[in-house]
Amino acid sequence: MHEPGLRHLAAADPTLAALVEGEAQRQHDKLRMIASENYVSTAVLEACGTVLNNKYSEGYPGKRYYEGQQFCDQIETLAIERARALFGTEHANVQTYSGSPANLAVYLAFMDPGDKFLSLELSQGGHLTHGSPVSATGKWFRPVHYTVGRESGRIDLDQVRDIARNERPKMIFCGGTAIPRTIDFPAFAAIAQEVGAILVADIAHIAGLIAGGAHPSPVGYADVITTTTHKTLRGPRGAMIMAKAEHAAAIDKAVFPGLQGGPHNHTTAGIAVALHEAAQPTFKAYAHQVIVNAKALAAALTGHGFDLVSGGTDNHLLLIDLTGKGVEGKPAAKALDAAGIELNFNTVPYDPRKPWSPSGIRLGTAALTTRGLTEQHMPQVAAWMAEAVGAVADTATLDRIAGEVRDLLKGFPMPGYTG
Ligand SMILES: Cc1ncc(COP(=O)(O)O)c(C=O)c1O
- Taking the CA of residue 176 as reference, the ligand 1 atom at the shortest distance is 1
Residue type (1 letter), 156: D
Q: Is 86 in the pocket of ligand 1 (CB under 6 A)?
A: no
pTM over cut 0.95? yes
Averaged over 151-155, what is the pLDDT? Answer: 97
Residue pair 348/321 in contact (Cβ under 8 Å)? The answer is: yes
d(CA 180, CA 363): 10
Whether the pLDDT of residue 352 is over 90: the answer is: yes
> In sequence order, what are the beta bridge partners of 93?
241
In order of 164, 284, 370, 399, the CA distances from 210 in angstroms are 26, 9, 16, 38
Which percentage of the chain shows pLDDT scores above 90? Answer: 100
Alpha carbon of 407 to ligand 1 centroid (Å): 32
pLDDT at position 278? 98
Average pLDDT score, the chain: 98
CB of 36 shorter than 6 A to ligand 1:
yes
Domain segments of the chain as ranges = 47-278, 288-409
Is the shortest distance between the CB of 98 and ligand 1 below 6 Å? Answer: yes
> How far apart are the CA of 186 and the centre of ligand 1, in A?
23
User: From the CB of 100, is ligand 1 less than 6 Å away?
Assistant: yes
Ligand 1 atom at minimum distance from 175 CA:
1
pLDDT at residue 419 is higher than 90: no
CB of 143 within 6 A of ligand 1: the answer is no
**CA end-to-end span of the chain, whole Å?**
6
Closest CA to 298 of 321, 317, 324, 325: 317
pLDDT band at 263; cut points 50, 70, 90: very high
Cα-to-centroid distance, 394 and ligand 1 (Å): 34
- Ligand 1 centre to CA of 79 (Å) is 20
Q: Does any ligand 1 atom lie closer than 6 A to the CB of residue 37?
A: no
Structure confidence at residue 360 (pLDDT): 98
Given the CA of residue 126, which atom of ligand 1 is nearest to it?
1
- Quick one: fold of 47-278? Aspartate Aminotransferase; domain 2 (3.40.640)
pLDDT in tens, 112-138: 999 999 999 999 999 999 999 999 999
Q: What is the pLDDT of residues 363-379, one digit of tens each?
A: 999 999 999 999 999 99
Task: Read off the pLDDT of residues 179-214 as tens digits, 9 standing for 90 and up.
Answer: 999 999 999 999 999 999 999 999 999 999 999 999
Mean pLDDT within 332-357: 97
Q: Dump pLDDT digits (tens) for 324-336.
A: 999 999 999 999 9
Catalytic residues: 56, 58, 202, 228, 231, 237
- Dihedral sign for Cα 285, 289, 290, 291, please: positive
Q: Whose CA is nearest to atom 7 of ligand 1?
A: 99
CATH of domain 288-409: 3.90.1150.10
Tell me the per-residue pLDDT of 280-338, one tens digit each, with 9 for 90 and over.
999 999 999 999 999 999 999 999 999 999 999 999 999 999 999 999 999 999 999 99
Q: What is the pLDDT of residue 19?
A: 98
Share of the chain above pLDDT 70, in %: 100
